[in-house]
Structure 1
Amino acid sequence: MKLTHLVTLTALFSAGLMAAEAANPVSYDERYYQTNTITSAVDDADNGYTFLVVGDWGRNGHFAQRSVAKWMDIASYQFDADMIISTGDNFYSNGVASVNDPYWQTSYEAIYQGPHLFIDWYVVLGNHDYRGNWQAQIDYSKVSRRWNMPAQYFDKLIPLEDGGSLHLVFLDTNPLNPDYQHEEKYAETQRQDSQAQLAWFEKTLKRNENADWTIVIGHHPLYSSGKRYGKTAAVRGIIEPLLEKYQVDAYIAGHEHDLQHNQPQGRSVEHFVSGGGSEIRPVAQREFTAFAKSSAGFAVVRVNQQHTTLEFIDDHGDVIYQYQLNKAGSNAQ
């Protein structure tokens, strides 16, 4: 009886969302995209392969999720994005029950419905996703054309138009996080074979050492200027040695509900957090902080053979940070 009542309420909520959108339709024509633009300093000639990164978003449109989705669509149109990456915590607070869970419609399909968001999404699992049926998020890849999660961890080698290559590695950092070993709500993470994943991770990095760029995606940050400052040492001790050994260019995570760029002294890897997909939390300036802002938003990453440029865009469409990694010469903001 309670389940029927819940499903009915969810259906009514979904119907209410659709009714609200029908009453205030958006016309996605040229005028819309001319009126709503993002001011970027990146030269169009440097665009290269482009992807958006958003994390910690699945909240039925609450907080800033809808406004972030709006500007993601505009960014995808304006910068001709090739894919969207999610850094996890795709459904709060307890994941999804199955591929038929109504949350797929009310928190994903109905929110990211702008025409330029129907490109490939590549997704990793967050800790909240493990509170539900994590396998359903893999299985949804067979339901949705745009949702791509072929396994808990995977990689993708992308040829660049100017002759270079981009290697993207998608990790499941939940089983790798020692902090979850004694937390009952995350017991499912500890039933996974973390050693098998680490062996795969090293083999994958080694096999693609000649890629021009290697960017690793995971849910848990290894450095944080936010809520978990000083509390990331355990997972960092597992992942960072391989990042440094194979000279990974950047590690992009979520988990913290904000936007960050951290540059720890003596480390070669650039650390970014893009977890501003919905709710936000406070940040502070730490000893390794290059940028941190308690802001909803997402990242736009553009890669060519010589440069990788990351911009953080907030939920008002403003570019609030830009950083460029260069293959020849020093990196610069």
Structure 2
Amino acid sequence: MRTLLFMAIVLGVIGIVQDCSGSSSASMMKIENPPTKPDGSLSFLVVGDWGRNGEYNQSVVAQQMGRIGEELDIDMVISTGDNFYENGLNCTSDEKFVHSFSDIYTADSLNKQWYSVLGNHDYRGDVLVQLSPALRLIDPRWFCMRSFIVDADIVQIFFVDTTPFENKYWTETDHHYDWRGVAPREQYISNLLKDLDFALKTATPAAWKIVVGHHTIRSVSDHGDTIELVDQLLPILKSNDVDLYVNGHDHCLEHISSNDSRVQFLTSGGGSKAWRGVYKPTSEKLRFFYDGQGFMSVQLSQNTLKLAFYDISGDVLHDWNLTKELIIL
């Protein structure tokens, strides 16, 4: 019933793309009352950079996600992008959707709502396909928008479309990127940053604030820091006391703490192909780095947050807790 209600809300708010030739536009829609436990707590898994038809240990990671998801009684799953390699999806009947998603994440515990952002590899395909509600008719777990907000009372999760920020994607000639709904770029980014800043400033004071994007802000791995996000997005996160910035893009697991703000930078990009063999020192506080495959969990109550990183055996590689004072309104 909850899934049907969610689908009804989504189908009523955004336009349905029937095939691969439609058009769409981005907006920061708020999705209220996602599935939570009776006590208001919320737990979820985070995985990124995964869609490879089960190869590169994607299926093994998925199996462990199912096991940990059952142990933690998760309420949803977050994907940090690069959902389908190498070049996104071509149309709503693209077999990669089933072979890389529906046929891989089959555990009962993963039969929850998936909230996804787009990565740069997704932009190489037909972007409108991944945004299309038609995919939810194939697998109702799927939900993807450019930027949106999930409001679960104790936490507000802000999903941000980070691919348009990177200068190189607009100039490189090796790949084609689907910029429909994004160009003109300057206006798109300006509106997105204004919308995000306003949403963060008007968020429930007592709620945890989590921002999800595909690209790194701080990273010691292959891609390193994304300068455009450091310059444009990070100041907004700092000024609005965001607790976590969660991303993929670098195919690893890592936790870095900001030197001058509350923000924790968390990379969960180990959903399939990994092991880049690159380490770039950072001036920020590196708490954990694993150049391999795996995923992350987050457990939230009103004043406690617990996160953990797991490898392909489901073993905990790193865990960390954060508390905040209870705000009584």
- TM class, shorter-length: 0.7 to 0.9
CA contact (8 A) 2:165 2:228 kept: no
Alignment-derived partner of residue 312 in structure 1: 309
- Please give the alpha-carbon distance, in whole angstroms, between the structure 1 residues aligned to 2:278 and 2:70: 30
Cα-to-partner distance string for 1:170-202 (whole Å, 9 max, x where unaligned): 111011223433224354346252222112111
Partner of residue 188 from structure 1, selected from 162, 171, 178: 178
- Please give the alpha-carbon distance, in whole angstroms, between the structure 1 residues aligned to 2:168 and 2:258: 22
> Could you tell me which amino acid in structure 1 is paired with residue 170 of structure 2?
Q
Q: Pairwise mapping of residues 271-282 of structure 1 onto structure 2 (< 5 A)?
A: 271-280=265-274, 281-282=276-277
> Could you tell me which amino acid in structure 2 is paired with residue 246 of structure 1?
N
- Please give the alpha-carbon distance, in whole angstroms, between the structure 2 residues aligned to 1:47 and 1:278: 32
Q: Could you say which structure has the higher helix fraction? A: 1
Three-state SS of the structure 2 residue aligned to 1:116 is helix
Instruction: Tell me the CA shift for residue 268 of structure 1.
Output: 2.2
- Please give the alpha-carbon distance, in whole angstroms, between the structure 2 residues aligned to 1:264 and 1:208: 22
Instruction: Tell me the CA shift for residue 64 of structure 1.
Output: 1.4
Partner of residue 324 from structure 2, selected from 308, 322, 327: 327
Three-state SS of the structure 1 residue aligned to 2:229 is helix
> Could you tell me which amino acid in structure 1 is paired with residue 91 of structure 2?
S
Q: Pairwise mapping of residues 3-22 of structure 1 onto structure 2 (< 5 A)?
A: none
Three-state SS of the structure 1 residue aligned to 2:237 is helix
CA contact (8 A) 1:167 1:215 kept: yes
TM normalised by structure 1 equals: 0.79
CA contact (8 A) 1:167 1:211 kept: no
CA contact (8 A) 1:52 1:76 kept: yes
Cα-to-partner distance string for 1:17-60 (whole Å, 9 max, x where unaligned): xxxxxxxxxxxxxxxxxxxxxxxxxxxxx993100000000011
Matched, 1:132 2:125: yes
Deviates more, 1:264-273 or 1:305-314: 264-273
- Going from structure 1 to structure 2, the CA distance change for 1:287 and 1:180 (only over 3 Å counts) comes to same
Instruction: Tell me the CA shift for residue 98 of structure 1.
Output: 1.1
Alignment-derived partner of residue 176 in structure 1: 165
Matched, 1:287 2:283: yes
Partner of residue 213 from structure 2, selected from 218, 234, 240: 218
Gaps of 5+ in 2: 1-38
Alignment-derived partner of residue 83 in structure 1: 76
- Please give the alpha-carbon distance, in whole angstroms, between the structure 2 residues aligned to 1:319 and 1:141: 32
Q: Pairwise mapping of residues 127-166 of structure 1 onto structure 2 (< 5 A)?
A: 127-139=120-132, 140-149=135-144, 151-159=145-153, 165-166=154-155
User: Which protein has the larger Cα radius of gyration, Structure 1 or Structure 2?
Assistant: 1
Three-state SS of the structure 1 residue aligned to 2:235 is helix
Alignment-derived partner of residue 31 in structure 2: none
* % identical equivalent positions: 35
Alignment-derived partner of residue 239 in structure 2: 245
> Could you tell me which amino acid in structure 2 is paired with residue 219 of structure 1?
H
TM normalised by structure 2 equals: 0.80
Partner of residue 299 from structure 1, selected from 296, 304, 311: 296
- Please give the alpha-carbon distance, in whole angstroms, between the structure 2 residues aligned to 1:243 and 1:322: 23
Cα-to-partner distance string for 1:137-171 (whole Å, 9 max, x where unaligned): 1112454211112x311001103xxxxx1000011
- Please give the alpha-carbon distance, in whole angstroms, between the structure 1 residues aligned to 2:214 and 2:233: 12
> Could you tell me which amino acid in structure 2 is paired with residue 96 of structure 1?
L
Instruction: Tell me the CA shift for residue 252 of structure 1.
Output: 0.2
Pairs aligned (count)? 277
Three-state SS of the structure 2 residue aligned to 1:175 is helix
Instruction: Tell me the CA shift for residue 209 of structure 1.
Output: 4.8
- Going from structure 1 to structure 2, the CA distance change for 1:209 and 1:236 (only over 3 Å counts) comes to farther
